[in-house]
Amino acid sequence: MGHPYTALHTFHLAVRFQSLKCTADHLHLTESAVSHQIKRLETQLGYTLFYKSGRQLKVTSEGKRLSSELSASFDHIDQVLSDPANTPINAITIYCLPSLIEFWLLPRLLKFKETHPNSELVINYHSSSPDYLDEHSLRIGSHEKDKHSPYVRSKILSGETIPVCSPIYMKQHQSFSSKDLLEADLLHDHTEQSWKDWFVLQGLALNKPPQLLYEDFHLLKMATVAAQGIALCPEALIQNDLEDGRLIALSTQRGNIGRHYAIERNKYADTGINTLIKHLI
């Protein structure tokens, strides 16, 4: 028996939103109706698509394989059926991490505008990017190793980190062995997990609770330069600071192994998007 479009589309949205409630709200259905559609699809397929981990909705390995086959097609259908008035045809919208805008993106956009002066570009912060990346948008952000994405991804920079501090902070402390770092003023970007993982690579365990958390890399770097402590910073983003002596590397042991920065685009991206990406990478 063929699988109904409605149930497959509901499954596709549930994977995208990672929530039955959000899927139901998007489709203007009840959560129980969405759950029923998915359970009926699971019965037809003969395998489970989702499982619960605490309060989170997780996709099974079989569900991930099905989703990877469906996502591009349904994203394209959603785009075709969307209101064209809400999608300016001539404008390209770029969603970019703040840490990459001044350092990496703007110099490349200047060169692009020289050869494409009539191109209309809209620059937004990465945090404002929508759940669905349409055919006239691209997103530039960081990605962990082996993390699946429904979009075409082009790697631009390594996101692996090294521990650094300012010269002022270095003068205030005598030693910087791995064990010494356990007791140092550790600065965290979003979460303490990066430092925990870094110490595991040294055969050590970080048990001290985080004291300073910063929302993004830009704030983290400012705090590090201002001698507030030691941070794990992406080496690719601090080359000038290392060369100028504003920051000093304390170890060659990298953290966030496999993390990278990449450009994401829809499989059916407009030709203008593809032209822009060729100038960026």
Residue-wise pLDDT for 107-125, tens only, equals 999 999 888 888 889 999 8
Is residue 91 domain-shared with residue 130, that is, in the same domain? yes
Is residue 132 domain-shared with residue 188, that is, in the same domain? no
pLDDT of residue 3: 52
pLDDT of residue 87: 47
In a domain, 170, yes or no: yes
Q: For 61-87, how does the pLDDT look when each residue is reduced to its tens digit (9 = 90+)?
A: 898 888 887 776 776 666 555 555 554
pLDDT of residue 12: 86
Beta-carbon contacts of 66 under 8 Å, excluding residues fewer than 6 positions away, are 11, 45, 49
How are beta strands 152-158 and 137-143 bridged, if at all?
Answer: unpaired
pLDDT of residue 2: 45
pLDDT of residue 64: 87
pLDDT of residue 89: 53
CATH number of the domain enclosing 168: 3.40.190.10
Q: For the chain of 281 residues, list the mean pLDDT of each consecutive stretch of 10.
A: 71 85 85 89 89 83 85 66 53 90 90 88 87 87 83 93 94 80 85 88 84 80 92 93 94 91 90 90 88
Domain count along the chain: 3
pLDDT of residue 261: 94
Q: Exposure string (b/e) for 193-221, b if CB count within 10 Å is 16 or more?
A: ebbbebbeeeeeebeeeeeeebeebbebb
CB atoms within 10 A of CB 46: 7
Domain final position from 48, 77, 106: 77
Single out the residue of 279, 62, 259 nearest to residue 143, CA to CA: 259
Single out the residue of 56, 71, 65, 104 nearest to residue 218, CA to CA: 104
Domain holding 195, by residue range, is 161-249
pLDDT of residue 163: 94
